[in-house]
Chains A and B, each alone.
Chain A
Amino acid sequence: MDDLQNEEEQLTKVGSSRRNFLTQLTVAGAGLSFAPYLSKAKPVAPTSQLSFIEPLNLSMTVNGTKRSLVVDTRVTLLDALRNNLAMPGTKKGCDHGQCGACTVLVNGRRINSCLTLVATCEGDEITTIEGLATGGQLHPMQEAFVKHDAFQCGYCTPGQICSAVGLMKEGHAKTDAEIRELMSGNICRCGAYQNILNAIKEVQTV
């Protein structure tokens, strides 16, 4: 039921009809046994009024701003960003560390936020896709992705871009083959890999 509750939180937080539609699709896909739950689904209290089984106070710096939050110990960094901090730029794909859609930078290094308990992030510096641009100017990697049409549906793109920024900092990818290998933690089901490669190469050579 955790996923359903998360989805409910999203409903109350964002409340767009698109999200509502997606949520119902997800539940429908989960099987008929959830139907009674769905029929009773109503917007719930804001996060701050929810009761937690094991609540935790923590603070971290997100995109340069110090943020404090109260979360259940089970909350991942991904869900904290999306649900508690209302930053839905970071995407939930597989939620099991297999697709890379949730990639963010923690203390400058790319990681999977879906497999990171936010409880372990006390004091950390988090950079998400929302934090890459400065003063209305896109990050060079964002600009390169736009220029090279390095996406189709765009769902994996925030993770791809954060991963590519992390890749550049690591400095281990020189050749096309190395870039491909070291971007293999980010799956693009639209298959925009060639254009993603071109975008990264352009930023590397600048």
Chain B
Amino acid sequence: MEPFKFIKAVDNNSAVLSASAAGAKFIAGGTNMVDLMKLNIEKPSQVVDINRLKLEQIETLPNGTIHIGALVKNSDLAYHPGIKKNYPVLSEALLSGASPQLRNMATVGGNLLQRTRCPYFYDTTFDCNKRNPGSGCAAIGGYNRNNAVLGASNKCIATHSSDMCVAMAALGAIIHVQGEHGTRTIPFADFHLLPGETPHIENTLKHGELITSVEIPAISFGSKSHYLKVRDRASYEFALASAAVALDISGDRIQSARIALGGVGTKPWRSLVAEKVLMGALNNAQSYRTAAEAALSAARGYEHNSFKIELAKRTLVRALTTVGGMV
């Protein structure tokens, strides 16, 4: 680990100021950050500890909107009664990620900034455009079983590995941030970036900007939602494919749907095209399959991960079946 100066922030303003210095990074739970620092992948010269900031509240407004403080621990959010009742997809996604110890440490804000688990990103002896821009991508011609089939470029095929983010993408969350020049909000879909030519730029946060909270807009059918994660072992493993779904069903029709996929995209993958397929469609297995085909229509497999395309379709169909109830 490279040496760094450690600063304990006392409020949002001082945190943003300290983090605006060149080479500065925030630390909260540290579950990903400290790991990457140990591997000399992250080498901040200044670490700004934000754990004492007052960003640990979960607040439900009268209109149903939920504001989740950036420092709320993954476990606290997962077991929050209002989240479990009204947005089970989010609770289930959180509980499917990492281990209880890590969920007790990891924060909502940090989870949004979680880096990929592409093995070539972690192994510094390999080329990686994310870690070392311009060096090349060892995964494209390498062992890419866990890599992305949606949203990849010829510079990077790393998956976004968060489960929480997949649920938040489906729920259309809004991210609140504070910078040197004030506050702003970022719609979830605009927060994470596709790799394109610049895979090392992963989100639209500006240097020094602090995530203060995540807003979940009220969704009337949020309680009819589910997160399904498919992986190599039953627990404590990243997704090969996952699906976050919510359905608004009236009679035999689906009025509205929310769909996002994980483990297969270079960012949390909301599928508006699949949602459109389901809007007004009959609530039956045929509609689920048609939506799944649409969701993966742009998918491209690589040498070792083409199986993920069919796996993701079946994962989505299974998740829709669980919520929609039609076999």
A109 touches B34 (CB 8 A): no
Query: Are A117 and B3 interface neighbours, CB within 8 A?
Result: no
The answer to whether A115 and B99 touch (CB under 8 A), given A110-B104, A120-B27, A120-B49, is no
**Considering the chains assembled together, what is the distance between the CA atoms of A162 and B54 in angstroms?**
28
User: CA of A191 to CA of B34 in the docked complex: distance in angstroms?
Assistant: 29
Alpha-carbon separation in the docked complex, A115 to B99 (Å): 13
Q: Are B34 and A167 in contact (CB under 8 A)?
A: no
Question: Roughly how many angstroms separate A185 CA and B235 CA in the complex, as a whole number?
Answer: 9
Decide yes or no whether A119 CB sits under 8 A from chain B. Answer: yes
Q: Are A184 and B235 in contact (CB under 8 A)?
A: yes
Contacts A120-B51, A122-B8, A185-B236; is A96 near B38 (CB within 8 Å)? yes
With A54-B4, A74-B3, A97-B31 already in contact, the answer to whether A116 and B105 are too (CB < 8 A) is yes
Residue-wise interface mask of A (156-194) relative to B, using a CB-CB cutoff of 8 A (1 in contact, 0 not): 000000010011001010000000111111100000000
User: Which residue on A lies nearest to B122, using beta carbons?
Assistant: A96
Name A49-77 residues within 8 Å CB distance of B.
53-54, 56, 72-74, 76
Task: Please name all residues of chain B whose beta carbon is closer than 8 Å to the beta carbon of A180 when the two chains form the complex.
Answer: 235
User: For the complex, what is the distance from the CA of A109 to the CA of B27, rounded to whole Å?
Assistant: 19
Q: Does A95 contact B (CB under 8 A)?
A: yes
For the side of the interface on A, what is the size category?
35 or more
A77 CB to nearest B CB, Å = 10
- Among B5, B38, B47, B100, contact of A185 (Cβ-Cβ < 8 Å): B100
Decide if the interface of chain B is mainly helix, strand, loop or mixed. mixed
Knowing A97-B31, A181-B235 are in contact, say whether A119-B101 is a contact too (CB < 8 A). Answer: no
CB of A103 to closest CB in B, whole Å: 6
* Structural contact, A110 and B51, CB atoms closer than 8 A: no
Contacting residues, chain A, for B236 (C-beta < 8 A)? 184-185
Judge if B79 is at the interface, Cβ distance under 8 Å.
Answer: yes
- By the criterion CB–CB under 8 Å, are A74 and B1 in contact? yes
| Cβ 8 A contact of B99, one of A54, A56, A185 | A185
B4 A97 Cβ-Cβ under 8 A: no
Check if B4 sits within 8 Å of A74, measured CB to CB.
yes
Q: A119 contacts B6, CB within 8 Å?
A: yes
Judge if B35 is at the interface, Cβ distance under 8 Å.
yes
B101 pairs with A73, CB closer than 8 A? no
Query: Given A115-B35, A120-B51, A185-B236, are A97 and B102 also a contact pair (CB < 8 Å)?
Result: yes
B196 close to A (CB within 8 Å): no
- Residue of chain B at shortest CB distance from A172: B79
* Cα distance, A97 to B100, chains bound together (Å): 11
* Distance to closest chain B CB from A99 (angstroms): 10
- If A73-B3, A96-B35 touch, whether A119 touches B105 (CB-CB below 8 Å) is no
Is the pair B4, A112 in contact by a Cβ cutoff of 8 Å? Answer: no
Apart from A54-B3, A96-B35: 9 A-B pairs, beta carbons within 8 A = A73-B5, A74-B3, A97-B35, A109-B104, A115-B105, A116-B105, A119-B8, A166-B104, A181-B234
Offer 30 A-B interface pairs, CB within 8 angstroms, sorted by A. Answer: A2-B1, A54-B5, A56-B6, A72-B3, A73-B6, A73-B47, A74-B1, A74-B3, A76-B34, A95-B38, A97-B31, A100-B99, A100-B101, A109-B104, A111-B105, A112-B102, A115-B31, A115-B35, A115-B105, A117-B27, A119-B47, A119-B49, A163-B101, A166-B101, A166-B104, A167-B100, A170-B75, A184-B100, A184-B236, A185-B101
